[in-house]
Amino acid sequence: MYKEIIEKLRNKKIAILGFGKEGQSTYRFIRKYLKDQFITILDLKDVRNNDLLSNDKNLEIVFGDEYLDNLDRFDLIIKAPGISLKDLKDEEVRKKITSQLELLLEVNRQNVIGITGTKGKSTTTSLLYQVFKDQNRDVYLLGNIGIPVLDQIEEYKDDTTLVIEMSSHQLEFIKVSPHIAIVLNLFQDHLDHDGDLEHYHNNKMNIYNYQDSSDIMIYADDNEYLHNRVAKGKFKGQHYDIRFDDSPKKSNSVRIKDNKIYFQDEVLYEDGKRELIGDHNLKNIMFVVLVAKLMGLDLKKAKDTINTFKGLKYRMEKIGTFDEITYYNDTIATIPEATISAIEALKDVDTLIFGGMDRGIEYGNFLTYLKNCHIRNLVCMPTTGYNIGKILEKESNKNIFFAETLQEAYDISKNKTERGKICLLSPAASSYEYFKNFEEKGKCFEEIVRGEK
């Protein structure tokens, strides 16, 4: 299938827009097969000293504030997910924009299970991949989880299943949909990149737009944003709806009752002792077992995989117990709903450390939740934490503390958290203001707690 992509790129005026991890992957892929084809790299940063580009004579590099000028001179613009084009109005240029994801879908969408949503997509994608892998299926875990889809494309066979986490950034410009498309939920997020909530949700729903009646779309019908989008949309895929309740079932419905997940009248999974704690993870499991059923997997083996799956690093990850305080690391929680889910799942949280980059998300419901929840100590960090903390100082009886750094936040929590209880770091905001990403923030906190920093 990669040969079809190469032929699409051959003799075209190509720009690689963004030269981070995915942009570099795209460059390597093109250069492997089209060694002499001229390429232009566009990036805000100066990437001329990147070793990957040394001795390449058929290359133009455009960087700086004007890197997005004159996009109309290219035949194809292969965009990396991190580049925001929310203000691009030129329809002719927009038609030229593609991505690694779209290039793959154009030649192999039938084998792709695409998963998106505001929260839960990394966990659900990883768990579904593990279910396939444990049943000896030829399967790859790809996409927004950190593995560019073209990196291993030569290894994909005709029956290889590709489980791909898809972000709103990756979905924004695609004009082809995966065979199985899943939207877990829709909340507020990425407003700094996408401009407004409507645009952000439009990008997510784009995963369904190019399906036909032979395709499968799965969605959370009890998520208000998503329910309304599906109700108003004219999506052609076969609809499968999931609700975390036992409301009346439709023909293609998944429901939960008495801790059992039902598809129509068949029990797909009975909840028991699982490593993935919390109702939000049980909801993720509902999506996984439905796909397992539709794909003809062994449901008993799937249950074994689900119950032993330990989850992702920095998602409600237990660091350990020190001086009778148990510390949890949840830096992947970049929206309020994710932080609330973690608090509800862990139950014994006495201290919450939260706050991060302000991306224009509405925090009214989160404020109300913090006022009324059982947590005694709130350690507020810049910038959103400071904003929320100042309000809670006046409107709640919580113990409010302000910390500039993670070290300060840890020092406060160490002194204030009740012994036998939990201190949870769960930002409810992005980490980009002071850290490269949530992984860097999580690693920093873990080292502080363990005394390694």
H or E segment to which residue 151 belongs: none
The pLDDT assigned to 249 comes to: 76
The phi, psi pair for 219, rounded to 5°, reads -150, 160
Domain at 2-98: CATH code: 3.40.50.720
pLDDT of 190 strictly over 60: no
Question: Which residue is associated with the tokens 């709903």?
Answer: 337
Instruction: Return the DSSP state at 189.
Output: -
> Across the strands, what pairs with 161?
139
Return the sign of the alpha-carbon dihedral for residues 347, 350, 356, 358: positive
pLDDT digits (tens, 9 = 90+) for 23-66: 999 999 999 999 999 999 999 999 999 999 999 999 999 999 99
pLDDT digits (tens, 9 = 90+) for 104-144: 999 999 999 999 999 999 999 999 999 999 999 999 999 99
As a whole number, the mean pLDDT across the chain is 95
DSSP 45-68: S--TT-GGGTT-SSEEEEESTTTT
Is residue 80 a contact partner of residue 19, using CB atoms and an 8 Å limit?
Answer: yes
The pLDDT assigned to 282 comes to: 97
**Spatial separation of the C-alpha atoms in residues 392 and 407, rounded to whole Å:** 23
Domain at 317-449: CATH code: 3.90.190.20
pTM, 2 dp: 0.93
Q: Where are the beta strands (DSSP E) in 194-316?
A: 216-220, 238-242, 253-257, 260-263, 266-270
**Spatial separation of the C-alpha atoms in residues 194 and 212, rounded to whole Å:** 27
Q: In terms of Cα–Cα distance, which of 43, 44, 20, 40 is closest to 30?
A: 40
pLDDT of 193 strictly over 50: no
**Spatial separation of the C-alpha atoms in residues 164 and 141, rounded to whole Å:** 6
Determine if the peptide bond prior to 339 is cis (ω within 30°). no
pLDDT band at 271 (very low <50, low <70, confident <90, very high): very high
The pLDDT assigned to 248 comes to: 82
**Spatial separation of the C-alpha atoms in residues 214 and 339, rounded to whole Å:** 37
pLDDT digits (tens, 9 = 90+) for 142-179: 999 989 999 999 999 999 999 999 999 999 999 999 99
Angle CA 94–99–100, to nearest 5: 170
The pLDDT assigned to 255 comes to: 96
The pLDDT assigned to 148 comes to: 95
Q: Which whole number is the average pLDDT over 438-453?
A: 94
Distances (CA, A) of 87 to 96, 100, 334, 432: 16, 22, 24, 22
The pLDDT assigned to 432 comes to: 84
pLDDT digits (tens, 9 = 90+) for 398-419: 999 999 999 999 999 999 999 9
Q: Which whole number is the average pLDDT over 89-99?
A: 94
The pLDDT assigned to 84 comes to: 83
Contacts of 369 (CB under 8 A, 6+ apart): 336, 340
The pLDDT assigned to 191 comes to: 53
Tally of helices (H runs) and strands (E runs) in the chain = 16, 20
Structure tokens that stand for 301 in this block: 């083996």
The pLDDT assigned to 194 comes to: 46
Is residue 12 a contact partner of residue 36, using CB atoms and an 8 Å limit?
Answer: no
Report the percent of the chain where pLDDT is more than 70.
Answer: 98
Alpha helical stretches, state H, 259-383 = 279-294, 299-308, 336-346, 364-372
**Class in CATH terms, 101-308:** alpha beta
Q: Where are the domains of the chain?
A: 2-98, 101-308, 317-449
**Spatial separation of the C-alpha atoms in residues 200 and 189, rounded to whole Å:** 8
Contacts of 429 (CB under 8 A, 6+ apart): 334, 335, 354, 355, 356, 357, 358, 359, 361, 383, 384, 385
Distances (CA, A) of 33 to 9, 37, 38, 97, 315: 10, 9, 12, 21, 39
